[in-house]
Amino acid sequence: MLILLPPSEGKADAGTGRRWSPDRLALPELNPARERVLDALVAVSAGPDEAAALTALGLSEGQRGELRRNARLRVAATAPAAQVYTGVLYEALELASLPAAAQRAARRSILISSGLWGAVRLTDRIPPYRCPIGARLPGVGALSAYWRPVLAPVLSAAAGSGPVLDLRSGAYAATWTPRGELAERTVTLRVLHEREVDGVPVRSVVSHFNKATKGRLVRDLLIAGARPRTVAELIGTLRDLKHTVLEQAAAPGRARQVDLVVTDL
């Protein structure tokens, strides 16, 4: 099973090891594209027009420090991606506290989307950075469009023959859309909160707590040692783990959307 996660805006303050090298990243087919984005990001962040750089990266005036950090990416210390990403999803996933077998499964099955790197494994050493998928970089353009043709063959190969659990947010999901038979092996997840209003159950889409719920769900799958071979087995496993899952009708050649219903946030 391949599990696709979004990155997080929250990242570690600094790395702890040697500087970044493309030779130490998984999915080496992405390296030429990574180098091009990295060059553009460093150039715009180190350039004299800070206002233009902030606009290109979708940052606020109070985030000028992110430009200084980006400008030093090629010489900055690195850490495993599992330690760099520190947002809500990763706090709920608690990778460091997983049993050894679950950590091995996480390293094997998880890929993290990235506006800068395209996609990384948990063990890939990267420096903390700020490069949202909505950025438009000089010479590169909109990152979502830039990565689409690059990621398609690489992630399709990484998916193998098993199911894909796609937990990316919309902007990152736009960088790769599984097609055909692979799409039919892909599950996307929507988190719904159920509560009573005047004695009637009402469900609504969860926004902020959606990330924490997805982190806990992946943690449950990893601890359980789940290795589903089909979408049906994946959905069955989620139900066995006491998650309330509602399947939506699936169209041929499209991913299967499921709703995860939660009562506590």
Q: Given this model, what pLDDT does residue 3 score?
A: 98
Joined tokens for residue 124: 């890939």
- In this predicted structure, what is the pLDDT of residue 265? 65
Counting residues of the chain whose pLDDT is more than 90, the rounded percentage is 83
Rounded to an integer, what distance in angstroms lies between the CA atom of residue 241 and that of residue 222? 11
Average pLDDT over residues 153-181: 95
What is the pLDDT, as a whole number, of residue 209? 82
pLDDT confidence of residue 206: 76
Q: Report the pLDDT averaged over residues 166-192.
A: 94
Residue 204, sorted as left (phi over 0), alpha (psi -120 to 50) or beta, turns out to be beta
pLDDT by residue (tens digit) across 181-208?
999 999 999 999 877 776 777 778 877 6
Quickly list H helices, the chain.
Answer: 31-46, 50-57, 64-71, 81-84, 88-93, 100-109, 143-159, 170-173, 180-184, 208-223, 231-240
Q: How confident is the model at residue 24 (pLDDT cuts 50, 70, 90)?
A: confident
Average pLDDT, the chain: 93
Q: Which pLDDT belongs to residue 177?
A: 93
Q: Are 204 and 193 in contact (CB under 8 A)?
A: yes
- What's the rounded mean pLDDT across residues 201-224? 89
Measured over all CA atoms, what is the biggest interatomic distance in the chain, rounded to whole angstroms?
Answer: 60
Which residues have C-beta within 8 Å of that of residue 218, sequence separation ≥ 6?
3, 5, 93, 110, 165, 167
**95: pLDDT confidence band, cut at 50, 70 and 90?**
very high
| 185 vs 163: CA distance, rounded Å | 5
